Structures are given as C-alpha cells and as structure tokens.
Amino acid sequence: MQILTVSGLQKTYTTRFGSSKVQALKNVNFTVESGEYVAIMGESGSGKTTLLNILGGLDKATGGSVCYDDTDITKLADTALADFRLNKIGFVFQFYDLIPELTAKENILLPSKLAKKGKTDISDTVKKLGVENLLGRYPSELSGGQQQRVAIARALVNDPSVLLCDEPTGNLDVSTGNDVLSLLIDLNRNDNRTIVIVTHDNQLAEKCDRIIRISDGKITD
C-alpha cells in the first residue's frame, strides 16, 4: 500500500530582493510504500532538504502535490497543515533542533502538548532509545548522539506513521552515527514505521530498501 505519493513537485525560490529565481525541484515524482525505508541521496545543493521540508509540510511547494494516503498536504490551510504535521509526521534534523531551555523530557513531550494529547507516559519510547536516564538534563548537557536520540524520541511521541530524517547522522562521529542508524532500522523493521532519510552516507543508504537519487532538482534513479 502506498503511504506517500509525490507528483509533479516543483519548488522555485525567489531570492529576497526578487532579483533571481532558483529552481530547486523540477517535476519530482515518486511513491513510498507503507513500511518502506527509503534513502534520498544527492550532492550538496541538489534539492534534498527542500524536498524533505516540503514532504514534511515545513515549506510550501510552488507546484505539484504531496499526498499521504488521501490527504494532499499542499492543499491544506495553515492550521490544518500544522495539525497534520504534528500528528502524522515525525521530523529528525541534522542539528537535532532541541529547545535549549527545555529538559530532554520536556522536549520529548512538547509535540504531545502542542497536539493537546496530554501524554505523560513516555517510558517505552525512552527505553527503546536508551535515554531514560537523561530525561532531566538540558540539551547543552548531552552529547550529540544523546541529543539525536532525544530528538528521535520527540519525533515519535505522537506516534506518526512517517519519519522524515534530514542527514540524522551528518553531525555525529562514525560509531555514534551507526548507533543512531541501528535505532532507525529497528524502528522500521520492528515498529513498521515508514522512514524517508536524506543522507550523504553510502553505508547508511545501503541498509535501506531503496535509494532515490536526486541531481539538480530532478530524480535520476
């Protein structure tokens, strides 16, 4: 079953003073099956982050559609989109993007609070991610790998069907990166999460079900 269908996706950035345009995505088409683990690979500047941000509803396309099951998120109004993003999509960023003023636990629970779900029991998730002893710490008191594991716990707190990851190991040393990678594989294999991961890392991509290659805003393979 297809969980995600991307059709004719276009993104043109107009630079701040309107003097030039950058066509970052040029008619991108692909689908992702439910439970699949897909890597998006391409050189720096090829459009990977632009694509992932649009898939996650963090940025708007200038053409085409992004459908999760029957919902085309490019047609949603802002509040409906925010709601969809909060409940259906988990985002993991290269630089973790934890809120520095909140503890690990407060960071993990934030999406649940925003979704007014009032979840308080996160014991299963934090155990799985091995962060149960770090919950009272602030991000500045955590290593990069620990911060990323907290960020993954946060991405999972509202039980999203799809996890979008932008270079999640890009800022980590090889062995910490491998730990994070194993966690993601486990979430895919054992929890049946659909994962779309942007990466430079060939080793990481080899462990995925499929690699989508992007070059100059177009899918090449």
Residues near Mg ion (CB under 5 A), total: 2
Residue (111 or 168) nearer to ligand ADP, CB? 168
The piece of 46-54, 84-92, 144-152, 187-195 that touches ligand ADP (CB under 6 A) is 46-54
2-41 mask for ligand ADP (x: CB under 6 A)? -----------x-x------x-x-----------------
Size of the site for ligand ADP (CB under 6 A): 12
Q: Alpha-carbon distance 25 to 63, whole Å?
A: 9
How far apart CA 92 and CA 177 sit, in angstroms, is: 13
| Whole-number Cα distances in Å, 36 to 31, 41, 65, 132, 185 | 10, 16, 20, 28, 11
Query: What are the tokens at 197?
Result: 């991961």
Would you count residue 158 as binding Mg ion (CB under 5 A)? no
44 binds ligand ADP (CB under 6 A): yes
Residue of minimal Cβ distance to Mg ion: 49
**Among Mg ion, ligand ADP, none, what does residue 89 contact (CB within 5–8 Å per kind)?**
none
Nearer to Mg ion, 11 or 48 (CB): 48
Q: Which is nearer to Mg ion, 36 or 166 (CB)?
A: 166
- Judged by CB, which is closer to ligand ADP: 53, or 161? 53
Residue in 49, 74, 112, 158 binding Mg ion, rule: CB under 5 A: 49
With respect to ligand ADP, which residue has the nearer C-beta, 26 or 119?
Answer: 26
Question: Residue 14 or 192: which CB sits closer to ligand ADP?
Answer: 14
Name the site residues for ligand ADP (rule: CB under 6 A): 13, 15, 22, 24, 42, 44-50
Q: Which residues bind Mg ion (CB under 5 A)?
A: 48-49
